[in-house]
Amino acid sequence: MRIDIGNALAAEASPGVSRDALERLDERVARAHDRIERGRHGDEFGYAALNLPATTDADDITETVAPVSDAAYVLVVGIGGSALGAATIAEALGDSRILTLDNVDPDHVSEVLSLLPLAETAVTVVSRSGTTAETLANFLVVREAFTEAGVDWTEQVVTITGDSGPLHELADRHDLPTLAVPAGVPGRFSALSPVGLAPAAIRGHDIAAILDGGARAADLSPSLFETPAYAYGTVAYALDMRGAAVNAMMPYAESLESFAEWFAQLWAESLGKDGLGQLPTRALGATDQHSQLQRYRAGPRNTLVTLVRPRERAEIRVPETDHADLTSLGDTGLGELLDAEFEATEASLAEAGRPSVRIELDRVDEAGIGELLYTMETACVLAGELYGIETFTQPAVEWGKRAARGLVGEDNEESEAVAEKTRLVVE
């Protein structure tokens, strides 16, 4: 993987970070690296996520899901980090038969269930605690749909959970195949564990190759000039401190659109604390050149644009035409055109003095997505060290969860705060 931070330097962009500032920051990176390595070696909470390429057992996952490995479809029931990693991996591997229920919108749930041949569908239900309201509500709906269709749901379900709680008890009662949510790993960092890998394993993908890709990025050096993940985390942090409070993640591959959504959770939930942290936004090249680039180039100078592309991709040739206005398109490739759009966006931002970072992976395949996920997780952990925040907690999210539970029957202070909110209604 290659990361080019040249268009984020102060000589090229505003806001930007000077080479001298990067040299000074590299001393802090070295100290942060020492802390990260101690955390990894001690398997400490959060830092343990960076050990997953080595500690995740691909064979164990494959053996556990074997009873449902003949399924034509997989339905992932989870939310946030319990679903986004699996969705990102599925999309990167081009598998449209892995679907996700990660919201409790009744229209969407009904639509997804109506599209699936339930007798040919495996379900992975993911909740560490086994009490996640949205996940358990959706699972109960899914279970009822299987029963109403005359399908024995106990033959279709794999549970991924902690070592106690209602979901674990359910799995024991019905002798369901069960995988463990890894201890010490927050959900948003769990893509390279059974949480993210089990659906791909059910569908027969090479999950060991995904872990190998992650391992390729796991040999960390104590310098941002030698470790791509540290380069990205440092530059994102430095630009935020200089006014780039928005980070627009813009992959130039449809197969990485879910990756941008996964990144948004990783970055926001990990770094948005103590009045700090960039706001991650999602875009897709080349589509959003026509909807968002105007703002990135000519709007407020508060945005870092992160451009991601594979260096190799499949090609489709554009047929030749004798239409005078279209002859330049004839016998070019769609991939060639997409790369031209990528280069044009990068150049447009540079010409306007707006910061961007280029991330290039070899190709979007098992190894490529494993390396990309691991690199961004490491970048996030490094940025958290530089901010001096608790990267692996999410107190604001937990407040919202308690408030939601209160509104559907559990008495707590958070739900009372919702009831007391100020209203000014215009109809």
- 16 closest CA partner among 4, 6, 26, 25: 6
> Which residue among 44, 254, 360, 401 is the active-site one?
401
**What is the identity of the amino acid at 38?**
R
Can you count the helices (H) and strands (E) in the chain?
Answer: 16, 10
- 81 closest CA partner among 285, 273, 268: 268
Whether the Cβ atoms of residue 56 and residue 193 lie closer than 8 Å to each other:
yes
> Which residue among 91, 134, 261, 269 is the active-site one?
269
Active site residue 421: no
> Which residue among 148, 290, 420, 421 is the active-site one?
290
- 98 closest CA partner among 128, 119, 77, 80: 77
For tokens 């279709």, name the residue.
156
Phi, psi (rounded to 5 degrees) for 44: -70, 160
- The verdict on whether omega for the bond into residue 286 sits within 30 degrees of 0, i.e. cis, is yes
Active site residue 371: no
Ranges of H-type helices in 3-121: 19-41, 52-55, 58-64, 84-92, 106-115
- The structure tokens listed for 194 are 């059974």
SS3 label, residue 309 = strand
Active site residue 269: yes
- 179 closest CA partner among 127, 103, 246, 101: 127
Positive/negative CA dihedral, 214, 216, 219, 224: negative
Residues annotated as catalytic are 269, 290, 401
